[in-house]
Structures are given as structure tokens and as C-alpha cells.
Amino acid sequence: MSNQVPLQATCLCCTNTIQIPTTLPLTAHVCHCTTCRTSHGTLFAMHTDLESLPFSECSPPSTFRIYQSSPNSGKAYFCGTCGTYMFASYFYILEGARHEGFCVSTGCVSLSDSYKSENPAAKLEDVLSVDFHCIIKDTIDGGASPWAGDWSKETQAQFHGNWEEPPMASQEDAEELGRKHVYPTGRKELDGWCKCKGVKVRITREDEAKKYKTGVCVCDSCRLATGTDVVPYTWVPRDNAFFVTKSESGEEEIKGWPALWNDAAKESFGGMIIYESTPGKVVWGACGTCGARIFYQRYGKTFENGKDVVEPLTALFGADDTQGIMHLDFLDWVVSDDGVYWAEDAEKAGRAGIMTRNVNVMYQEWVKGLKSRV
Ligand SMILES: [Zn+2]
Ligand SMILES: [Zn+2]
Ligand SMILES: [Zn+2]
Ligand SMILES: [Zn+2]
């Protein structure tokens, strides 16, 4: 029989590499709800259900931080060093009884080293597939649903707006949500925040005709940083990006975005996990309370005018439940020469078939369609 531990889950910094005893094949579901988006920093979360957590709930690895939004809610387990949101428990009602469910962030999952040595030709995409999308209506404007799923696949036919409603019939239905949505005019700032509201990001613009370029990256680092295969970023001049914090008396304080995450900056933003994946060069921020990915920053990356670039996770700007999440009045969704960024990473990792290959085609079509819409 096949190996007992075919999968492992890994965070961005690899402090947590956890073997997952399970049987294959498995499915992932894609959730577009506000909780998932603001917990991962992505436009949707990908979760793979497990029969149990691969560690004791009573004594989880000390390398994790745990977030529980209320005493009756499930728990999120994220890396205390890099912030990657890896595992979660949740509760659901079935036939009147309350049950506990468990899941792993699909983007963290790979075939285990021992499984690969026994099955050298195996690819994750052969044993893991998306079975349904849910809670699209939380996005108000359809979010990424017009391009995030493979509507042609029978197995992915279930696109639920909400659980109370039957699945959406077609991709057109999802696109229609976006076409109907009207974004506010004249906005000069856009706020975003994480699930626990501990970290709030604000981006500003002087001119409302100015839109910030937003791209979709599927590289290994972005995937491991968020636990999701598809990750959008918005490129903002550092001068136009701020953190909004609360003083001890509860008043809002606007803090500039640090050029350098030195000890003083880290202390000033003590609520965040700041992790340098390439020391002195690449830094990632996550909420230290709920584990939401907040930003990526590469020192020395500038716009053509020489201004520093910072890259907040676009999905945080969908934390408001009323204004939609794609913000077409503020964000310019772009494609690279190859469509999404770093599609070759997903191919190399043997996981492009789970979602990325299709996203790359559909995303480019969607961006083309926007040109005729806006
Ligand atoms: Zn880590
Ligand atoms: Zn969700
Ligand atoms: Zn948070
Ligand atoms: Zn990336």
C-alpha cells in the first residue's frame, strides 16, 4: 500500500515542516468569504480538509502561534517566525449536532519527501484537485471568482454564492456581480485590515485618476507566505502607504511605512511578525495576532521615478463588507508578459493543474474584458 504519510505542510521559513498522515486523493475547496480573505491576505483561501490535525490540539508545536476569534470559534495555527497561516480547526452543525472540522492551507501542502522517493513521477496535481468554490457573494463584486475556477470541470461546478442558495450556473453569473457593482467615485484613500483588525493599512493617492498596478503572483514564496496558490499584490510608493494604529487612549495614529525594518521599526510595529527571507533584502510582514499576511517589501525596489515600492496584500482592501474587493476605481489589474507572475514555479512544483494553469488563462481574459468595461 502507499506510504502512510504522503503529504507535508511547510511554512515560508520552514520552521514548521509537518508530516500529514492521510490517504490520497484529496480535494481543496476555495472560499471567497471575508474571514478567509482577511486571514490569508489573498482574494480567496484554499483549504484541504483533514480528519484530524497532524499534532495534538492540547499541545500544538511551540513554533506556532494560535488565534481564536471567540471562545466558541475554531483556531488558526500560524508560524510564529514567519507568520504563515498553516492549519485551522472550525465548527459546523450537521443534523443538529456540533462537529469540529480541521484543514490545512492548501498552498503549504506538498508531497512528502518519502512519498516522492517511492513515487518519483508523482505530482501533487495528480492527487489534489479543487472540488468547489464557496461564499462568493461575500465579495460583493464577485472578486476573483470570474477567473479563479475552472467552470468547465464537472468537479468544480459548484460555485456557491452563499450556502443558502443553489450553485451559480455559470461563470457569467460571477462576472455579472462585478459588472453590476459600482465603486465609489473620488476615493483618495483605501483602507485594508486583517481578520483581527490588529493591523490596518492605508494607501493614498493625490489624483483620483491615478491607479495602482496590481498583479497576481504564483511563485513558491508567495504561496508559502499565504498558504494559497494565487496571490495578488498592489505596488504602492512607500510615501503613499501607511499603517493606522491605535494609541493607548484609542485614538487613530497614522504611521509612515518604514524604509527599513530595523529594530526600531520592529519595536514600533510590535504587533506584527517581521520576517526577512533574504536578510537585508526581502522582508515579509504578517499580523502577529491572527497570522494574516500583510506585505512584501524588497529593499531597493523602486518605481521609475526612484520612489520606493512597498507591496501590501491586495485582498486586505476587501475587509470592508460593503465596497467590493477588486476596487477597479483604485487598482489597475495587470498581466505580465506571461500572464500571472512566476507561473513556471507552479509547473515545477507539479501543482499548476490544481488551479494556476487555468487561472493564468482566465485571468488574462478577465483583464482584457475589463478594458472594454471601464
Ligand atoms: Zn515559518
Ligand atoms: Zn471562508
Ligand atoms: Zn490580525
Ligand atoms: Zn511571488
CA of 193 to the centre of ligand 3 (A): 7
Same domain for 56 and 196:
no
**Number of domains making up the chain:** 2
- pLDDT over threshold 90, residue 160: no
Domain assignment present for 335: yes
Question: In 3D, which of 214, 223, 221, 257 has the Cα closest to residue 363?
Answer: 214
Same domain for 171 and 203:
no
pLDDT tens digits, 110-158: 999 999 999 999 999 999 999 888 899 899 999 999 999 877 766 555 6
Helix (H, G, I), strand (E, B) or coil at 138: helix
State the average pLDDT over residues 71-98: 94
CA of 317 to the centre of ligand 3 (A): 14
CA of 224 to the centre of ligand 3 (A): 18
Same domain for 257 and 175:
no
- What is the share, in percent, of the chain residues with pLDDT greater than 90? 82
Same domain for 361 and 242:
yes
Domain assignment present for 99: yes
For residue 352, give the C-alpha cell.
499548476
CA distance 223 to 354: 13
For residue 236, give the C-alpha cell.
504602492
CA of 100 to the centre of ligand 2 (A): 15
Same domain for 338 and 232:
yes
Same domain for 25 and 173:
yes
Q: Which ligand is nearest to the CA of 139?
A: 2
CA of 35 to the centre of ligand 2 (A): 6
CA dihedral defined by 71, 76, 78, 84, rounded to 10 degrees? -140
| End-of-domain residue from the set 180, 214, 246 | 180
CA of 310 to the centre of ligand 4 (A): 14
Q: Which ligand is nearest to the CA of 195?
A: 3
User: Would the CA dihedral through 4, 79, 320, 371 be positive or negative?
Assistant: negative
Question: In 3D, which of 128, 113, 147, 151 has the Cα closest to residue 333?
Answer: 147
CA of 320 to the centre of ligand 3 (A): 14
Half-sphere exposure of 358 (CA within 13 A, CB side): 18
Domain assignment present for 213: yes
CA dihedral defined by 87, 75, 321, 12, rounded to 10 degrees? -30
Q: How far is CA 237 from the centre of its chain?
A: 22
Q: Which ligand is nearest to the CA of 286?
A: 3
Q: Which ligand is nearest to the CA of 233?
A: 4
Least confident of 52-56, 155-159, 202-206, 321-325: 155-159
CA of 255 to the centre of ligand 2 (A): 30
Q: Which ligand is nearest to the CA of 30?
A: 2
Same domain for 313 and 221:
yes
Phi, psi angles (nearest 5°) of residue 208: -75, -5
Question: In 3D, which of 274, 206, 276, 210 has the Cα closest to residue 243?
Answer: 274
Domain assignment present for 1: no
CA of 369 to the centre of ligand 3 (A): 34
Instruction: Write the burial class of residue 335 (CB in 10 Å: 0-12 exposed, 13-18 middle, 19+ buried).
Output: middle
Identify the pLDDT of residue 171. Answer: 78
CA of 299 to the centre of ligand 2 (A): 33
pLDDT tens digits, 219-246: 999 999 999 999 999 999 999 999 998 8
Same domain for 215 and 176:
no
- What is the share, in percent, of the chain residues with pLDDT greater than 70? 97
- pLDDT over threshold 50, residue 1: no
State the average pLDDT over residues 14-20: 97
HEC profile for 65-120?
EEECCCCCCCCEEEECCCCCEEEEEEEEEECCEEEEEEEEEHHHEEECHHHHHHCC
Same domain for 198 and 121:
no
CA of 192 to the centre of ligand 2 (A): 18
| End-of-domain residue from the set 180, 203, 219 | 180
For residue 48, give the C-alpha cell.
484541504
**pLDDT, averaged across the chain:** 93
Q: The domain that contains 285 carries what CATH number?
A: 2.170.150.70
Quickly tell me which residue has 492521510 as its cell.
22
Domain assignment present for 2: no
CA of 253 to the centre of ligand 4 (A): 31
Q: Which ligand is nearest to the CA of 64?
A: 1
Domain assignment present for 356: yes
Residue type, 163: W
Domain assignment present for 229: yes
Sheet strands side by side (includes 241-246):
189-193, 200-204, 241-246, 252-256
Q: Which ligand is nearest to the CA of 9?
A: 1
Identify the pLDDT of residue 155. Answer: 56
* Residue 301 falls in which region: left (phi positive, over 0), alpha (psi -120 to 50) or beta: beta
| End-of-domain residue from the set 134, 160, 180 | 180
Same domain for 124 and 73:
yes
State the average pLDDT over residues 184-196: 95
CA of 234 to the centre of ligand 4 (A): 12
Domain range for 60 = 7-180
For residue 101, give the C-alpha cell.
472540522
> Do 85 and 103 form a contact (C-beta atoms < 8 A)?
no
Q: Which residues hold their Cβ within 5 A of ligand 3, which is an ion?
A: 194, 196, 198, 287, 289-290
Same domain for 313 and 202:
yes
CA of 60 to the centre of ligand 4 (A): 29
CA distances from 322 to 141, 178, 186, 318, 319 (A): 10, 13, 16, 9, 9
Same domain for 256 and 223:
yes
| pLDDT category of residue 164 using cuts at 50, 70 and 90 | confident
CA of 346 to the centre of ligand 4 (A): 11
Domain assignment present for 331: yes
Question: In 3D, which of 335, 363, 292 has the Cα closest to residue 65?
Answer: 292
| pLDDT category of residue 100 using cuts at 50, 70 and 90 | very high
> Do 296 and 233 form a contact (C-beta atoms < 8 A)?
yes
